[in-house]
């Protein structure tokens, strides 16, 4: 903060509002003192409101830039891996080799889940949506660790973050295997994080070899692309929930509920379903026309973003991974990939999409990629949960490491003024 102030004339008085200068991005006018002058701000959907200060992730939606702790997403996707990115996001700096090895060992040591968690899955029908299962499974971790977690202690907070990141692949694989009626597999000590995930999903207890490296690398990069995305709906939910000093796993479970919706983490499932429905290049014009028709609620899923008004930088990395996975697996999704590329081209030449700055987002190609990796569409948002676990944990930890207040928005009340109760026989 420096001495700059914004002046607001209200109720015949001038109110001085401090202006904060960020290291990157737009200036922020602090309005927290406004309530004392008899007014609140009104900003549905937080279109112009910063809810917190953060040092974790920066997005320039106009330029299509995404930085984790200052490092561009394309560099991290190409040169780093998910464990290193987790360390970076949680600790603020890239690890040394020794630091990375120690971090990976700690995560590996925590990957197994208490056998009692199996009962959580057994309480669900096989057909239950996996997001319902993962939300319950995350919340159940609070039942195991609540009494040993002092959220005011930084080392306890880091411990909770590592447990969450470590156990989420195991829980995700349990969602998948429960849906198929298969027994669960425990993580192996000789495998990396992403290898363990692929093994626990598709392996057999007798396996001793390592899973396919191309598929493990693709999965790992998908996790890197989803690791954080600043104050989106689910992360904001984790912060709001965490601001009450609730248990961290309860706050992370709240994040998962927010991620489930098709406007957020559920869009990849919706995008793949849409591409299957379109099915062939000659049907694309019909769907483009529907997306533009305001009397039709249909939208091009995987297109548009609240923040990106340019190509989502994650989408170009995802398109490349998609191609690699399709080549490796020879998946039936190759036809759908062709439809997606043609749809992208047509939409990006159409005035409707250009004027509204609607570009493919990360979800446009992630559904095809995951499907080619053998992941059923209902599990896509669980995979997103897995990748985002580190972001939620880092934001929760960042909030609790600094001064914070319970999140409590105000409202613009437009209901009845005070009126007297009317007895039921007089209504």
Q: How far is the CB of 134 from ligand CMC (least distance, A)?
A: 16
Sheet harboring 65-68: ordered strands across? 57-60, 65-68, 71-72
Of the pair 7, 47, the CB lying nearest ligand CMC is at 47
- With H, G, I as helix, E, B as strand and everything else as coil, classify residue 20: strand
Number of residues near ligand CMC (by CB under 6 A):
20
CB-based contacts of 377: which residues, under 8 Å, 6+ apart?
268, 269, 272, 273, 367, 370, 371
Task: Give the range of 36-44, 211-219, 242-250, 295-303 binding ligand CMC by CB under 6 A.
Answer: 295-303
Of the candidate residues 303, 380, 392, 396, the single one contacting ligand CMC (CB under 6 A): 303
Q: Provide the mask over 237-266, with x wherever binding to ligand CMC is found by CB under 6 A and - wherever it is not.
A: --------------------------xxx-
Residue 299 interacting with ligand CMC (CB under 6 A): yes
- With H, G, I as helix, E, B as strand and everything else as coil, classify residue 147: helix
Distance CA 324, CA 218 (A): 8
Distance CA 2, CA 198 (A): 50
Distance CA 138, CA 250 (A): 7
Residue 20 is encoded by which pair of tokens? 């904060």
Q: How far is the CB of 292 from ligand CMC (least distance, A)?
A: 7
- Find the residue with minimal CB distance to ligand CMC: 304
The verdict on whether 276 is a catalytic residue reads: no
Of the pair 368, 400, the CB lying nearest ligand CMC is at 368
Of the pair 258, 400, the CB lying nearest ligand CMC is at 258
Alpha helices by DSSP H, 146-264? 154-180, 193-202, 213-226, 233-242, 248-259
Residue 64 is encoded by which pair of tokens? 């299509």
Of the pair 304, 391, the CB lying nearest ligand CMC is at 304
The verdict on whether 305 is a catalytic residue reads: yes
Residue 368 interacting with ligand CMC (CB under 6 A): no
**Options 159, 305, 312, 395, the catalytic residue:** 305
Q: Provide the mask over 344-363, with x wherever binding to ligand CMC is found by CB under 6 A and - wherever it is not.
A: ------------x-x--xxx
Of the pair 44, 115, the CB lying nearest ligand CMC is at 44
Of the candidate residues 106, 110, 276, 306, the single one contacting ligand CMC (CB under 6 A): 306
Inter-CA distances, 104 with 85, 125, 132, 177, 216, Å: 11, 34, 29, 25, 16
Q: How far is the CB of 233 from ligand CMC (least distance, A)?
A: 7
- With H, G, I as helix, E, B as strand and everything else as coil, classify residue 313: helix
CB atoms within 10 A of CB 65: 16
Distance CA 92, CA 207 (A): 37
So which residues are the catalytic ones? 305, 363
Contact set with ligand CMC (CB under 6 A): 229, 232, 263-265, 267, 291, 299-306, 356, 358, 361-363
């Amino acid at each position: 903060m420096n001495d700059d102030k914004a002046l607001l004339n209200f109720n015949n008085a001038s109110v001085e509002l401090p202006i904060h200068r960020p290291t990157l991005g737009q200036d922020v006018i602090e309005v927290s003192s406004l309530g004392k002058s008899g007014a609140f701000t009104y900003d549905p959907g937080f279109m112009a409101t910063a809810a917190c200060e953060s040092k974790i992730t920066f997005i320039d939606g106009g330029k299509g830039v995404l930085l984790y702790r200052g490092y561009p997403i394309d560099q991290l996707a190409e040169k780093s891996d998910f464990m290193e990115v987790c360390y970076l996001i949680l600790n603020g700096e890239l690890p040394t080799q020794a630091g990375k090895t120690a971090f990976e060992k700690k995560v590996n040591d925590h990957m197994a889940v208490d056998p009692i968690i199996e009962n959580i899955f057994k309480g669900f029908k096989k057909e239950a949506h996996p997001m319902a299962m993962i939300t319950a499974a995350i919340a159940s971790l609070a039942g195991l660790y609540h009494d040993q977690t002092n959220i005011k202690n930084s080392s306890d907070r880091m411990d909770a973050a590592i447990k969450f990141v470590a156990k989420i692949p195991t829980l995700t694989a349990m969602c998948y295997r429960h849906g198929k009626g298969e027994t669960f597999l425990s993580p192996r000590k000789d495998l990396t994080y992403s290898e363990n995930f692929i093994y626990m999903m598709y392996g057999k207890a007798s396996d001793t070899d390592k899973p396919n490296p191309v598929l493990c690398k693709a999965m790992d990069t998908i996790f890197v692309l989803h690791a954080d995305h600043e104050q989106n709906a689910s992360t904001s939910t984790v912060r709001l929930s965490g601001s009450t000093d609730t248990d961290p796993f309860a706050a992370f479970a709240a994040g998962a509920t927010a991620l489930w919706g098709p406007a957020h983490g559920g869009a990849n499932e919706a995008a793949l379903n849409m591409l299957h429905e379109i099915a062939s290049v000659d049907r694309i014009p019909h769907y483009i026309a529907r997306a533009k028709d305001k009397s039709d609620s249909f939208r091009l899923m995987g297109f548009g973003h609240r923040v990106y008004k340019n190509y989502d930088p994650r989408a170009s990395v995802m398109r490349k991974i998609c191609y690699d996975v399709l080549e490796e697996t020879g998946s039936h999704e190759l036809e759908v990939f062709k439809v997606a590329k043609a749809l992208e081209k047509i939409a990006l030449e159409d005035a409707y999409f250009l004027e509204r700055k609607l570009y493919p987002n990360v979800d446009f190609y992630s559904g095809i990629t995951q499907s080619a990796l053998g992941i059923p569409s209902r599990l896509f948002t669980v995979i997103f949960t897995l990748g985002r676990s580190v972001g939620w944990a880092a934001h929760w930890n960042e909030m609790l490491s600094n001064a914070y207040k319970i999140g409590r928005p105000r409202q613009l009340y437009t209901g009845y003024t005070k009126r007297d109760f009317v007895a039921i026989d007089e209504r």
